[in-house]
Amino acid sequence: MVILGTALLSVCFLLGVTLGDILGKLIGVKANVGGVGIAMLLLIVSRLYLGRKGLLSAPTLNGVHYWGAMYIPVVVAMAATQNTLAALRGGRVALLAAIGGVALCVLTISVINRLSRDASDEAWEAENPNTPPV
Amino acid sequence: MLQFFKHAIIENGLLAAFAFVGAITWLSNELGTRLTKGRIHGSAFAVLIGLGLAYWGGALTGGKRGLADLPLFAGVGLMGGAMFRDFTIVATAFEVDPVLAKKAGWLGVLSLLLGTVIPFIVGVLIARAWGYTDPVALTTIGAGAVTYIVGPVTGAAIGATSDIMALSIATGVVKAILVMIITPALAKFMRLTTPRGAMVFGGLAGTVSGVSAGLAATDRRLVPYGALVATFHTGLGCLMGPSVLYLTVKAIFG
């Protein structure tokens, strides 16, 4: 049933966020620490576990896949609700600090990704040619 | 008739947002395939259109939530808010290959650390060059260069003034928007072609909204790998900002 997939997703989400809040409290940070990441790990683990037991029917899977596919539209909506005006009015310090930080990070990403390539990368790329998002 | 339609939209904001975002996405895909022959993903146009609309909404209302401050588009705020964003991000984890994710785990952690320290240092140095000398202000602006959540959380913890907080948030928002826009363009340069590449990107680029939108417009299947790492970024920044990073700045500039 579709709802079972969506319910599984919701339970993982709520558990993850709760654990993230507790983790934040434990280390004394006023923020959720990795709640979404923990939820993702929970979902991966439960997919493996339930899949092995044969408990994931096609409709159940659809109950999760639908929300995964809604991700890009949600990101578009998120972009439409950014405080773009404030970003542009933040002045040169905000602009330069952001540009400088991003530029240096982009370079670092490029260096790390070039250095860490191995044979498995080409295999993955060959198997998964870049396709436009749905 | 128009009055009734308007009423229906305001009463059912989220559903209206689905229809509206659907229209933007359709338009963007047409633009992507017709104007650039598919070289630029439709999602990149969609994010740009979204940001443009956010500017328009902000200019019209003077509010902070872009398009969502217009009553007709309030539903876009719910759809693009943290709840739906995080929910759909978690859902993408269903496609993660645990073996691949594990293999790149240590690179992800290294990227997370670098992704916090590098923008912080740049932020502090630029603020210093602009005449800020107070360690609290320097730290808060530097933390803003990490993400727009780390900035105010750090600032609040170490007692920054509200104008510095605003500047810090603005820095973080500029960063998020910048990452959204430049990622598809620089994807080849950054070698964003594999799950591991996406995880390194997620850790270093950090800001969840930027990473998620940037990867979405680059290659949809890489989204969960980048997001998996990036979601720890804000937590790490909030942990390091008011503690290690502040103390270091204080020791150097205090």
CA distance B81 to chain A (A): 6
> How far apart are the C-alpha atoms of A62 and A74, rounded to whole Å?
18
A43 contacts on B by Cβ (under 8 Å): 90-91, 93-94
Q: What is the pLDDT of residue B221?
A: 86
Closest residue on chain B to A51 (Cα) = B94
Q: Would you call B65 and A27 a contact, using CB atoms and an 8 Å cutoff?
A: no
How would DSSP label each residue in B157-184? HHT--HHHHHHHHHHHHHHHHHHHHHHH
Give yes or no: residues A103 and A66 share one domain.
no
- In this structure, the answer to whether residues A18 and A70 fall within a common structural domain is yes
pLDDT at A90: 67
Residues 6 or more apart in contact with residue A44 via CB below 8 angstroms: B93, B94, B96, B98, B101
Contact A94 B182 (CB under 8 A): no
Same domain, A118 and A133: yes
Closest CA to B225 of B254, B202, B249: B202
Same-domain check for residues A1 and A63: yes
- ∠ CA A23-B82-B201 to the nearest 5 degrees? 75
Do the beta carbons of residue A93 and residue B125 sit within 8 Å? no
Give the Å distances, CA to CA, from B34 to A70, B130, B161, B181: 24, 45, 49, 20
Supply the range of the domain harboring residue A11. 1-82
Structure token digits, residue B202: 């997620």
Assess whether A90 and A34 both reside in one domain.
no
Residue A76 shares a structural domain with residue A92: no
| Residue A76 and residue A12 share a domain | yes
**ipTM of this model?**
0.85
How many degrees, rounded to 5, is the angle at CA A42 between CA B230 and CA B209? Answer: 25
Q: Identify how many contiguous H helices and E strands chain A contains and give both numbers.
A: 7, 0
The answer on pLDDT for A86 being more than 80 is no
Amino acid at B69: D
CB contact under 8 A, A93 and B220: no
Block means of pLDDT (10 residues each) for chain B, length 254 residues?
A: 91 96 93 76 80 91 90 94 88 82 85 94 94 93 90 85 84 87 87 90 86 83 88 81 89 88
Transcribe A39-98 into DSSP letters: HHHHHHHHHHHHHHTT---HHHHHHHHHHHHTHHHHHHHHHTTS-HHHHHHSHHHHHHHH
pLDDT in tens, B177-203: 888 888 888 888 998 888 999 999 999
CA B151 to chain centre: 13
What angle do the packed helices B82-92 and A71-79 form, to 10 degrees? 150
Q: Where are the domains of chain B?
A: 2-80, 97-253
From chain A, the residues in CB contact with B90 under 8 A are 9, 12-13, 16, 36, 39-40, 43
* A131, pLDDT greater than 60: no
Sole residue written with tokens 């578009």: A76
Whether A90 and A40 share a structural domain = no
Say which DSSP state B242 is in: I
Asked if A37 and A94 sit in the same domain, the reply is no
Are residue A63 and residue A87 in the same domain, yes or no? no
Using the predicted structure, report yes or no on whether residue A115 has a pLDDT greater than 80.
yes
What pLDDT is stored for residue A84 in this prediction?
Answer: 78
> Among residues B117, B148, B126, B118, which one has the least CA distance to residue B210?
B148
SS3 B80: coil
Q: Of the candidates A53, A82, A111, which is a domain's last residue?
A: A82
CB contact under 8 A, A108 and B38: no
Which chain A residue has the Cα nearest residue B214?
A: A75
CA distance B77 to B237: 26
